[in-house]
Amino acid sequence: MDVTVVDRGPRQVCRRVDVAAPAADLWALAADPRRHGELDGSGTVQDNLKVPAEVLEGSKFSTSMKMKGVPYRVTSTFTVLKPYDVVEWRHPVGHRWRWEFESLGPDLTRVTETFDYRDAGAIKNKLKYYERMGFAKANANGIEATLGKLRDRYAQ
C-alpha cells in the first residue's frame, strides 16, 4: 500500500501507511530516540547525543541533525507517550512530531506521522517563517520517505 495523505486541517502535514508489523514493535521504535535514525527517511537525523535511561512524558532528548549540509543540534521534549498508541515530541520552537499506531491485526499496523506546526506561532511571525521556508512541503516529502522506508523494512 502506498503512503496516503491525511487531511488534519491547517498547519498539519500528515501521512499514513499500513505496515506489516505489530503496533507494539513500531511504537517501541518511535518511543526510543536512539532508534530515530532507523526511522528517518529525510536524511536529517544523525545521532542522538543525550537520551534519558527511562523515557517518560516530559523527558528531553538531544539529537544531532543535518539540513542542507549544515549540522545542528536540537533538544526535544516528549509530550505524549501512550504505549502502543501514540508517541509525540515537541521541538523547542513549537512544532510537534506525532506518531500514531492503530493495530489492524496481530501483524498489521496503520502508522500515521504528523508534522504539526499550529503551536509554532507563539513566537511573532514564526508561522510565516515556516511557510516561507517551505517546511510543510519539505516535511511532507520527508514523512513520505520515512513511512515508505518503514513499510519496506517490514514488507514480506
What pLDDT is attached to residue 96? 94
Alpha-carbon distances, residue 84 vs 69, 81, 117, 154 (angstroms): 34, 9, 24, 17
Using the predicted structure, report yes or no on whether residue 114 has a pLDDT greater than 90. yes
| pLDDT of 109 higher than 60 | yes
Model pLDDT for residues 123-156, shown as the tens digit of each residue: 556 666 667 666 777 878 889 988 999 999 999 7
Q: Which of 28, 62, 59, 32 is nearest to 46 (CA)?
A: 62
Report all structural domains of the chain as residue ranges with CATH numbers, in order of start: 4-153 (3.30.530.20)
Looking at per-residue confidence, does 51 or 122 come out higher?
51
Report which of residues 13 and 38 the model is more confident about: 13
What whole-number distance in Å separates Cα of residue 38 and Cα of residue 119? 27
Q: Decide if pLDDT at 39 tops 70.
A: yes
* In the predicted structure, residue 36 carries a pLDDT above the cut 90: no
- Tens digit of pLDDT for each residue in 75-88? 889 999 999 999 99
- In this prediction the pTM is 0.87
